[in-house]
Structure 1
Amino acid sequence: MPLISFVRATLAIILFALALPSAAQIVIGQIAAFSGPLAPTGTHMRAGAQLYFDAINAEGGIHGARIRLLSKDDGYKSEETVRLAREMLKESQPLAFIGFVGTGNVEAILDQKILSEAGIPLVAVRTGTESLVRRNDPFLFMTRASYAEEIEKITDQYITTGYTRFAILYQDDAFGQGVLQSAEQAIKNAGGTLAAKGAYAKNTTEVGAAVKIIAAANPQAVILIANTAASAEFLKQSREAGNLAQYVALSTTDAAQIVQRIGAEKAEGLALTQVVPDPNSQTVPLIREIQNNFAKFKPRDVTLNHTFVEGYLGAMVLGEALRRAGPNPTRKKLRDTLEALKSYDAGGVFISFSPKRHAGSRFVDITILNRAGKLLR
């Protein structure tokens, strides 16, 4: 063989070999908080998604392609979410995004047209704000119930059991203000009264002023529209102030972390809404699958909590869409497949999307912490 032909043939083989890893790999991107007060949320969302991808990869991937999850830390800062998403799109060319954390962060992504300009779907965000549900962005697919549905569950249950005077702690940003509107309306519709409301600044636990305002109003029940760190500090200070109200937090608060931060004694009696089934259940197929994979792959530095389940569920929905999209899917094909996903049984949690509704789940439950720091239904 002439030297030049040999060189060309060798070069072709090398280029083909170099192309193989990317052809057999699907990159999924995540921008979330892995530092700051919401670090545990981002970490557990990532770990849940990664566990699902690990299990799928161990079985040969999807249509022969392995799933690679790339994550970047935005510190719960919206401007960083936008910057890092653009950076990841340019450098790594993910097929889809997953597991972003925070209402304002997701809204910034949509406002800056990051998804629409890239034509890339974003699945399983850690927010359920009603404004995003109503917005129904064609590239955003939510796999949890809305905050409005959580609030409705709370007001229905507590009004039914005789609670009429409510107070609200809320985070003073798009997340908190949006849910506050839903809560005010839900309380009014149910025949209750909003006795007081108090705010704290995003990315802080400065709840002292809110504690005083709400304690002075002597409500029967206090709804916490807050993240875990702020909820823990508010509950701690409220207990110390002698406020004996019933406290109920949205799913944005993690029960185990509350107990870890302030102890089981102060946490006892805190009720929390949940948008996924109990991680300790032995009857829900989704949870049994997660428990089995958790034991098999042994994720480090995380616990099997509700946020972990939420991350796994989101990855599971994305995985099902990848299967249905077929080999070598494009972003458009994946987006269209997600939108056509109807009545998908994710092991006892049902997900349905349509062109008119990209909020795929309506599952809401209420749990309560006992004196041992364990969640009960």
Structure 2
Amino acid sequence: MSAPVTQGLSRRHLIAAVAAASAIAAALPAQAQKKYSTGATDTEIKLGHIVPYSGPVSAYGTIGKTIAGYFTKVNAEGGVNGRKIKLISLDDAYNPAKTVEVTRKLVEEEEVLAMFAPLGTAQNAAIQKYMNAKKVPHLFLATGATRWGNPKEFPWTMGWQPTYTAEGRAYARQILETKPNAKIAILMQNDDFGKDYLRGFMEVLGDKAKTMVVANLTYETSDPTIDSQLLSLKASGADVFFDISTPKFAAQAIRKVAELGWKPTHYLASVSQSAAAVLKPAGFENATGIISSAYLRDPSDPAHAGTRELADYLAFMKQYYPAGDPNDTLNVIGYSLAQTMVQTLKQCGDNLTHENLMKQAANLSMTLPMLYPGIEVKTSPEDFYPVSKIQLIRFNGSRYEPVGKVLPG
């Protein structure tokens, strides 16, 4: 009789032991689930960033300084899930060949977890295949080209801002509604940046483009001025000017149009709508009436005065980037890009692998303090366009005012 009792007890003891072991294993999930790709550890997250601190569009360098300041703020407050962000931000002078060189340095030598917010259309196009071949996240690019939203072909690349194509479409629709018999002159940067804007614009004009577009000229970023192009555009007899240029050339265009006494309705690409970096140097009096588009709040707009969102942004600029102009919307871009990246890293938890970083980037649903009211950040595995809505705006001589309602992307 004793043998069966002994076996029964042994079986019960074995079951108890297994249950205890299972309980211990379940109590340690956090340690077991910590996963890292190159560029992340228990204490640090290393991000690469490229922006033109020098060269023809060095005005954009302030975006990198704002991003660095925001990550300094985050680190001072304890980091992201206990890890400090190390940003390695390099200058490519807006030269695609240099972009390739510094990207290889960041990925292969510095071994960053991701390339975050590299700026420029041609610049990112030069590294897109490389980043996807390396399977290193190429995230929240500071360019609105449509090619950054193609997860089937380029699953490791994601844009951030509204597309240039959508913006071009919005301007064309507005022209058709307000000046259906317009004669349109176009100036565009001769690269993928300019071509993306033009594509959307011409799509909406359709067959009417043949009669409405009376001149279409280009410039190179290496050109010292665009005076000759503007003389030709004025001579075309156009009463609408679509200006697809980066900050340096946009300021030149605004001044020269005024000097020539040409008074077209002036549509300006949003990448150059900064009142501080472009309109002020060109002369506010010369910029009055310019139409552009926004997806961010304008810090100088009295409509936002007294809001918590603006107060927090101004306090950040004062403490972490005091040399920056808080009214420069380029700094608002850097601030908002950095906030998007921080949220994505938070969602990763302790799984800081390349794969999970992309997974979290493709599962965002959030508002950002300095996005224009009614505009949000939203992604899915099929939608790699985080910010898609825009608001048309018109400069009244001192600030921008909204034109119509927020438009879908």
Q: Which of the five TM-score ranges fits, normalised by the shorter chain? A: 0.7 to 0.9
Larger Rg computed on CA atoms: 2
Deviations 1:289-348, CA, capped at 9 Å, x for gaps: 32232234343244442221112212111111111111251222111111122x322235
* Structure 2: distance between partners of 1:129 and 1:298: 29
Distance 1:145 1:78, change over 3 A: same
Q: Distance in 2 between matches of 1:28 and 1:302?
A: 25
Number of the residue aligned with 1:316: 339
C-alpha displacement at 1:190, in angstroms? 8.0
Would the aligned equivalents of 1:255 and 1:272 in 2 still touch at CA under 8 Å?
no
Q: Does residue 362 of structure 2 align to residue 339 of structure 1?
A: yes
Indicate the RMSD between aligned Cα atoms, in angstroms.
Answer: 2.4
Note if 1:232 corresponds to 2:255.
Answer: no
Q: 3-state SS of the aligned residue for 1:366?
A: strand
* C-alpha deviation, 1:39, in angstroms: 1.0
Residue pair 2:314, 2:326 contacting (<8 A) in 1 also: no
Other-structure match for 2:388 = 362
Q: 2:206 and 2:133 mapped to 1: Cα distance? A: 41
3-state SS, counterpart of residue 141 of structure 1: coil
Q: CA separation in 2, counterparts of 1:196 and 1:84?
A: 38
**1:156-181 per-position Cα deviation (integer Å, ceiling 9, x unaligned):** 23332235332211011121123222
More displaced 10-residue stretch of structure 1: 202-211 or 221-230: 202-211
The match for 1:25 is 44
| CA apart distance, 1:104 | 0.4
Equivalent runs, 1:48-87 vs 2, <5 Å:
48-87=66-105
> What pairs with 1:25-44 in structure 2 (closer than 5 Å)?
25-41=44-60, 43-44=61-62
**Partner Cα separation in structure 2 for residue 133 and residue 215 of structure 1:** 37
Letter paired with 2:397: R
Paired residue secondary structure (1:84):
helix
Partner secondary structure for residue 88 of structure 2: strand
- Go from structure 1 to structure 2 and tell me whether the alpha carbon gap of 1:288 and 1:157 turns closer, same or farther (over 3 Å shift): farther
Quickly say closer, same or farther: Cα 1:58–1:182, change in 2 above 3 A.
same
Deviation at 1:61?
0.7
Give the 3 Å change call, closer, same or farther, for CA 292–73 of structure 1 in structure 2.
same
CA contact (8 A) 2:150 2:384 kept: no
Whether 2:122 is the aligned partner of 1:140: answer no
Aligned to 2:36: none
Q: Which amino acid aligns with 1:26?
A: I
Q: Indicate the SS of the match to 2:87.
A: strand
Q: Is the Cα contact below 8 Å between 1:27 and 1:94 reproduced in 2?
A: yes
> Does structure 1 conserve the Cα–Cα contact (< 8 Å) formed by 2:56 and 2:221?
no
Q: Any conservation in 1 of the 2:62–2:324 contact (CA below 8 Å)?
A: no
Q: Residue in 2 aligned with 1:375? A: 400
Partner of 2:328: 305
User: What are the superposed Cα offsets for residues 213-251 of structure 1, whole Å, 9 maximum, x if unpaired?
Assistant: 211222222111110111111222222222110111111
Report the more deviating stretch, 62-71 or 136-145: 136-145
Give the Cα separation in 1 of the matches to 2:69 and 2:208: 41
The 1-side partners of 2:289 and 2:234 are apart by 17
The one-letter code of the counterpart of 1:209 is: S
Greater relative contact order, per chain length (Cα 8 Å cut-off, separation 6+): 1
Check whether the contact 1:76–1:203 (CA below 8 A) recurs between aligned residues.
Answer: no
Query: Within the alignment, does 1:158 sit opposite 2:164 as a pair?
Result: no
CA deviation after TM superposition for structure 1 residue 107, in Å: 0.6
Q: Counterpart in 1 of 2:135?
A: 119
Write the mapping of 1:76-225 to structure 2, written as runs, cut at 5 A: 76-110=94-128, 113-133=129-149, 137-162=154-179, 164-188=182-206, 193-225=212-244
Number of matched residues? 352
Once the two structures are aligned, what percentage of the paired residues are identical? Answer: 22
TM-score by length of 1: 0.85
Matching residue's letter, 1:94: V
Distance 1:45 1:308 in 2: 5
Structure 2 stretches of 5 or more lacking a match?
A: 1-39, 403-409
Tell me the amino acid that sits aligned with residue 400 of structure 2. Answer: L
The answer for unaligned runs of 5 or more in structure 1 is: 1-20
* Secondary structure class of the residue paired with 1:276: coil
State the AA in 1 paired with 2:221: K
Contact 2:66 2:335 in 1 (8 A): yes
Given that 1:143 and 1:361 are in contact with CA atoms closer than 8 Å, whether structure 2 keeps it comes out as yes
Are 1:255 and 2:280 matched, yes or no?
no
